[in-house]
Structure 1
Amino acid sequence: MVSNKSSYRRSPRWKVSWLFIAIALACLPFADLSINTYDPWAELGRLLAGLLQPSISGIEKPFFALLQTVAFALLGVASGSLVGFILAQLFHLRLVRIVCASLRAVHELFWALIFLQIFGFHPLTGLLALGLPYAATFAKVYAEILEEGDRRAYETIRRNAGLTSAFFYARLPCVWQHFVTYTSYRLECGLRSSAVLGFVGLPTLGYYLSTAFMEGIYAEVWALLILFYLLIATIRYWVRPKLLPFYLLGAPFIIANDSVISFDNIARFFTQDIVPLPLRRDEGFSELWQWFAELFVNEALPGIVNTLLLTQLALILTGIIALLWFPFISKLFFDRFGRLFGHLFLVVMRSTPEYILAFILLILWGPSMLPAVVALALHNGAIIAHLVGRYSEALPLRLDAVTGINRYAFEVVPRTYNQFLAYLFYRWEIIQRETAILGILGISTLGFYIDSAIQDIRLDRAVVLIAITALLNIGIDGLSRMIRSRLRLSIGPQRDTE
């Protein structure tokens, strides 16, 4: 037993863990983790008081906002899954993989900010903001599911039938349930993303949430959040295969508005707005290089540093929270009644988008990196805790196994640690994407400079900064996959961390 513990501590996985902790500790002196509000405890008291008396009486059309949230999510996920299914058949092509990785690396809110400049508040803005990155994600995951599926029946039938017939009659039925499971999960993600789109002006729940927050009407804030939690919690009851066609037919009428697409705006966006200023002025290469160098040094570089710094702090705090929380939903530690409260807490934390959590904490603590770090860690820690807790329940224990803290420290954590690290590194790129977007709230990550450029109508700068953000996310994703491969960390069937 002693030798096993000693071997565990000397394992590469343990060394990598300590390396990442050391990096996070080295980042601490450079992070602004201050609390800047005058009286955060009083603000917290007002927030909790709103929980005791939630009210929607002052909200104009709250249920219409709920319907808008659902409609955008349904159409975005449906269109994304359809396009993703087609792209999955071509995912073996390098160009398709590169395009999908680029689309996936840009957050939905960044896409929304771009399409707002092209289409305004037309429904296409929300649909494309959700549909494009979701299509890229579906393509990747569907391709992986097809690759891992049983091909024996397919190979047998294709000898006597065409490729199309063999695919639809032999290959697709074998993996269909995996497609359905993953698509259902992405619908839940779509609801969260759809709600957040309201923070940039689309008429979803986020629009009314941001208004209620800014006005300090916390009774309305909690009423809207409770509506959203109920929507997520009851998804299995109202999302029925037989009802989905009717939902999809009705959704376009719900999101329809009187906005008109201006083709002049579209033409100007692609031919002028996003063209770097020196090129618009017909200046030379040296001026273009100077323009880019100034943008990179003054905005991109500080944004990259702060994004990476915040990401590493959030990653380590996510891991700590996940390791502390997973026992609360595991039958190895609590009975059914105790696990009920653990599940409820984790559902609330993982159902609340990081953006909304950060927005709440910014109201309480003021503008610094602290609200972003805590928001990212709470949301992602809850997701990983849920997955690790579920994984731990499958562990076989001897009849004379230790109990309490000894079971946690010496029995369960060592046996779940590999899976925990796999989930954590898998979430790394996702945490980075969210870190960048939180800059819109005033935190000086890349999103802060992107939002500032858009506000100043300098879209050429914004597009370059978004491209840098995408490259940074692709780099982190590649590094994460390399580390998982070197350490032989497998996610297994749990693709819902995507």
Structure 2
Amino acid sequence: MLSYPTVRASLIFVAVAVVGLLFADIAITASNPWRDLGNFFLGVVTPNFFSSEGLLTALLRTVAFAFVGVALGSFFGFLLALVYRLLPVRIFCAFIRAIHELFWALIFLQFFGFHPLTGVLAIAIPYSGIFAKVYSEILEEADPEPRRLLPPGTGMIAAFLYARIPDVWDQMRTYTAYRLECGLRSSAILGFVGLPTLGFYLEASFSQGLYSDAGAMLILFYVLIATIPLWVRPKLLPIYILAAPFFLGEGLPIVWGNVERFFTEDIIPAPLRSGEGMAGMVPWLSDLMVNEAMPGIWNTVLLTQIALVATGILALLAFPLISNHFGGPVRRTSGHVFLVIARSTPEYILAYILLQLWGPSMLPAVVALALHNGGIIGHLIGRQTNTLRLRPDAITGFNRYTWELVPRVYRSFLAFLFYRWEIIMRETAILGILGIYTLGFYVDSAIQNIRFDRAMVLILITALLNIGVDALGRYIRRKLALQTMPTC
């Protein structure tokens, strides 16, 4: 049976989401959404793989950005993990991973321009913070026994390399492989800010109504993700990592004067640049908070809470699709295909597609966030139910779902959901670039109006909001004793 605190926490979050729906804009504003949706699915089933000579180049660059960014992120993340116990390091890592890859890309675009360094750093910096946290947790959980078996006088470095690393190598390799899949998704969406990855061509195809071209790009991306175990082999990784930088493209040359001006002038608050001093900072900050930060925070939190509950509902409905306790092999295979597509499609791309079909509102964002994150959690919970052994006389059908399986996996389900909470908020903020009034909308507007000082303050607020939600999620997991955490 479910404990009272667990049920109470669940009902509180559901109630918050229901109240949030009263304030959310979830209308479909397109003139003929079902026709547009039909045209899109027709394009998916009739893909045009020969639409653009640059399609394969974009696919190759998507892979190249992912490999270089993830390789750098894992290297520096590992170094940070070794000193992660230090509070300044933990704060630094929490800050850099709280800022979404697209926000980092928007920052670097202002002084590096459309140079490969922009895309590489946009992935590598937040991933370094993520790797540092996860690697440190893996290292802390390593078995201490091998260390005691080493000969007396063994040095610290030798002990670490021969006793600690072999014990955690499989876990670190598994997580790094998962991060590579995430890196491919991050690399793809960098095209939406102008970098020559898959997202650039996808946006161009949709803007011209070329749904068959867009369908071809999505299918290629799904195939790329699904076949990772086939082409990402340990023996080939050094070759991929060494070759990837040569396929990033050249881009425009970096104007180092722009870099200097960005840090010495552009991001300095306007009152300080104009000589008004601290006296002008109060009205400047007040205007920023009232007209941009507060509306952005409200809409970001509102959309996050609705998407969080929608994710949970979808995950609970989806896990039976791949569970051995329901249906036959055909149904489970279909369920696997659905969940692979749902979790492999980046929220940003899915939200972009739905916005083109349904019009601007929060509804496309909610559906995109719920499908992606619900697909991930549904897959993990479904796999967990496959390890459960029921009695031969166990009830069947809907009663098996409600009375046998859900109570057994519900605590793990909540742990996964609260783990994804901060991730959902990061994505919610960035979806503002698509026109939804979250913090990303105001960040993008400030950058478009060349008001980088305001944009940097809003990005800082976004990072602090994400850090706060992450801390709250950890507190709730600890309070409810939700120990089952995702391995990826």
TM-score using structure 1 length:
0.97
Confirm or deny that 1:441 pairs with 2:434: yes
**Given the alignment of the two structures, is residue 199 of structure 1 paired with residue 192 of structure 2, yes or no?**
yes
Structure 1 position 411, deviation (Å): 0.7
Q: How far is the alpha carbon of 1:58 from its aligned partner? A: 2.4
Aligned to 1:165: 158
SS in structure 1 at match of 2:441: helix
- The one-letter code of the counterpart of 2:383 is R
The answer for the alignment partner of 1:232 in structure 2 is: 225
1:372 & 1:196 partners in 2: Cα distance? 15
The match for 2:487 among 483, 492, 495 is 495
2:27 maps to 34
Distance 1:158 1:293 in 2: 64
Say yes or no: does 1:266 pair with 2:259: yes
Of 51, 62, 79, 2:55 maps to 62
Aligned residue among 325, 328, 346 for 1:353: 346
Matched to 2:375, the amino acid is: A
Q: Is the 8 A contact 2:114 2:251 kept in 1?
A: no
Residue 243 of structure 2 aligns with which residue? 250
Residue in structure 1 matched with residue 324 of structure 2 by the alignment: 331
Partner of 1:112: 105
Q: Is the 8 A contact 1:112 1:197 kept in 2?
A: yes
Whether 2:417 is the aligned partner of 1:414: answer no
1:148 maps to 141
Equivalent of residue 427 in structure 1, options 385, 399, 420: 420
Q: Is the 8 A contact 2:360 2:436 kept in 1?
A: yes
Q: What letter corresponds to residue 275 of structure 1 in structure 2?
A: I
Alignment partners' CA distance in 2, 1:256 and 1:207? 15
Q: Does 1:103 align with 2:107?
A: no
Seen in structure 2, the aligned counterparts of structure 1 residues 158 and 19 have a Cα distance that, compared at 3 Å, is: farther
Q: Distance in 1 between matches of 2:152 and 2:478?
A: 35
CA deviation string 1:199-236 (max 9, x = no partner): 00000000000000111100000000000000001101
Aligned partner of residue 157 in structure 1, secondary structure: coil
Cross-structure match for 2:182: 189
C-alpha contact 1:446 1:469 (8 A) present in aligned 2: yes
Query: Could you tell me how far 1:49 is from its partner in structure 2?
Result: 1.6
- 1:158 is displaced (CA, Å) by 7.3
CA distance in 2, matches of 1:195, 1:426: 24
1:215 to 175, 196, 208: 208
RMSD (Å) for aligned C-alpha atoms: 1.0
- Aligned AA (1:495): T
More moved, 305-314 vs 251-260: 251-260
> What is the one-letter code of the residue matched to 1:108?
E
Aligned counterparts of 2:80 and 2:251: Cα–Cα separation in 1? 33
Query: What letter corresponds to residue 51 of structure 2 in structure 1?
Result: G
CA separation of 1:486 and 1:158: change in aligned 2, threshold 3 A: farther
Identity across aligned pairs (percent)?
Answer: 60
- Any residues of structure 2 matched to 1:383-398 within 5 Å, and which? 383-398=376-391
How much does 1:244 deviate?
Answer: 1.4
Measured after TM superposition, the shift of residue 495 of structure 1 is 2.7
Contact 1:419/1:489 (<8 A) preserved: yes
1:375 maps to what in 2?
A: 368
Cα distance, 1:471 vs structure 2: 0.2
Say whether residues 1:288 and 2:281 are aligned partners. Answer: yes
Counterpart contact for 1:74–1:190, Cα < 8 Å = yes
Q: CA deviation at 1:119?
A: 0.3
The correspondence for 1:49, drawn from 42, 47, 58, is 42
Distance (whole Å) between structure 2 residues aligned to residue 478 and residue 43 of structure 1: 41
> Is residue 51 of structure 2 the alignment partner of residue 72 of structure 1?
no
Q: Structure 2-normalised TM-score? A: 0.99
Aligned partners of 1:69 and 1:191 also within 8 Å: yes
SS at match of 2:436: coil
CA distance in 2, matches of 1:368, 1:376: 14
* Deviations 1:378-419, CA, capped at 9 Å, x for gaps: 100000000000111111211110000000011100111000
* Cα pair 2:64 2:244 within 8 Å, conserved: yes
Question: Which of 109, 120, 135 is residue 127 of structure 1 equivalent to?
Answer: 120
Rounded to whole Å, the distance in 1 between the matches of 2:381 and 2:343 is 14
**1:348 corresponds to which letter in structure 2?**
I
Deviates more, 1:202-211 or 1:60-69: 60-69
Q: Is the 8 A contact 1:158 1:166 kept in 2?
A: no
SS at the partner of 1:443? coil
Indicate if the aligned counterparts of 1:108 and 1:133 stay in contact, CA closer than 8 A.
Answer: yes
For 2:253, the aligned partner's letter is V
Q: Distance in 1 between matches of 2:477 and 2:451?
A: 39
1:277 partnered with 2:273: no
Moved more, 259-268 or 303-312: 259-268
Aligned partner of 1:466 in structure 2 is 459
1:102-161 CA-partner distances (Å, limit 9, x unpaired)? 000000000000000010011100000000000110000000000011012124437421
1:286-307 deviation line (CA, Å, top 9, x unaligned)? 2112101110110000000000
Deviations 1:5-33 (A, max 9, x none): xxx3x520001000111111111111000
Deviates more, 1:52-61 or 1:418-427: 52-61
CA deviation after TM superposition for structure 1 residue 242, in Å? 1.5
Instruction: For 2:381 and 2:51, locate their aligned partners in 1 and report how far apart those are by CA, in whole Å.
Output: 41
Equivalent-residue separation in structure 2 for 1:60 and 1:22 (angstroms): 51
Quote how far apart the aligned CAs of 1:60 are: 2.8
Contact conserved, 1:322 with 1:382, CA < 8 A, in 2?
Answer: yes
